[in-house]
């Protein structure tokens, strides 16, 4: 038996990270094999900018993606350095930066969209292979919602105190 399953929830985060890293690496292989200079880690920000009805601000994106402003800022800086997005100051509030796709970014969107469609199909097919695989997204969502209500650290501390 593999090491990880024997430890159950003690390595839950590790297993999710390993699986996430595997998926990102596999998607990056596809981009590379197709000759596309795109990184899977850019997807959430790039997708959000491409599909937002109005140019989003960095803070809007951080809120929607549930990550730090700094994390979004770093990704936007990376996308800017590749010429895929540009930023401009918000007319109402000069401290806020709006993010939009450049012409190159719009062209990239047309190039990567078929790959995204194929990823969705491949993942759907993959989830059909296991009896419980179809439930993984629902299960992850339920865990995310539960830790929003009561953090994992709080749950751990409670468990420590109830064991005494």
* pLDDT per residue as tens digits for the range 127-143: 999 888 888 889 999 99
Q: What is the pLDDT of residue 74?
A: 95
79 shares a domain with 31: no
Mean pLDDT of the 118-134 span: 91
Locate tokens 């199909």: which residue? 121
Question: Is there a domain that residue 125 lies in?
Answer: no
Question: Is there a domain that residue 121 lies in?
Answer: no
Question: Is there a domain that residue 109 lies in?
Answer: yes
52 shares a domain with 31: no
146 shares a domain with 84: no
| Mean pLDDT for the chain overall | 92
98 shares a domain with 60: yes
Q: What is the pLDDT of residue 100?
A: 94
Locate all alpha helices (DSSP H) within the chain, ordered by sequence. 3-6, 12-33, 43-51, 58-65, 69-81, 103-127, 136-149, 152-162
Cα–Cα separations (whole angstroms), residue 45 to 87, 96, 154: 13, 16, 31
Distance CA 72, CA 41 (A): 11
Q: What is the pLDDT of residue 1?
A: 62
141 shares a domain with 89: no
Question: Is there a domain that residue 94 lies in?
Answer: yes
84 shares a domain with 143: no
Global pTM? 0.84
Torsion of CA 6, 11, 12, 17, to 10 degrees: -120
Mean pLDDT of the 13-17 span: 91
SS3 call for 89:
strand
Question: Is there a domain that residue 56 lies in?
Answer: yes
Q: For helices 12-33 and 103-127, what crossing angle results, to 10°? A: 120
Q: What is the pLDDT of residue 157?
A: 93
Query: If pLDDT is split at 50, 70 and 90, which confidence band does 46 have?
Result: very high
Distance CA 78, CA 136 (A): 31
Q: Which domain holds residue 2?
A: 1-35
20 shares a domain with 56: no
Distance CA 43, CA 100 (A): 14
120 pLDDT more than 80: yes
Query: If pLDDT is split at 50, 70 and 90, which confidence band does 145 have?
Result: very high
Distance CA 129, CA 122 (A): 11
Counting the structural domains of the chain, the total is 3
31 shares a domain with 45: no
31 shares a domain with 46: no
46 shares a domain with 29: no
Mean pLDDT of the 89-117 span: 90
47 shares a domain with 96: yes
31 pLDDT more than 90: yes
Mean pLDDT of the 38-59 span: 94
């Amino acid at each position: 038996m593999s090491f990880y399953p024997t430890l159950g929830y003690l390595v839950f985060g590790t297993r999710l990270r390993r699986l996430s890293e595997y998926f990102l690496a596999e998607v990056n292989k596809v981009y590379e094999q197709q000759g596309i200079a795109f990184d899977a880690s850019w997807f959430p920000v790039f997708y959000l900018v491409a599909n937002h009805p109005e140019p989003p601000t960095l803070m809007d994106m951080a809120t929607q993606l549930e990550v730090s402003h700094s994390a979004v800022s770093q990704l936007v800086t990376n996308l800017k350095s590749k010429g895929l997005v540009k930023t401009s100051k918000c007319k109402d509030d000069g401290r806020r930066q709006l993010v939009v796709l450049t012409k190159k970014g719009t062209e990239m969107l047309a190039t990567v969209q078929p790959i995204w469609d194929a990823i969705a199909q491949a993942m759907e097919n993959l989830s059909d292979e296991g009896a419980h695989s179809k439930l993984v997204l629902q299960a992850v969502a339920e865990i995310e919602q539960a830790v929003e209500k009561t953090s994992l650290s709080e749950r751990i501390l409670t468990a420590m105190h109830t064991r005494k």
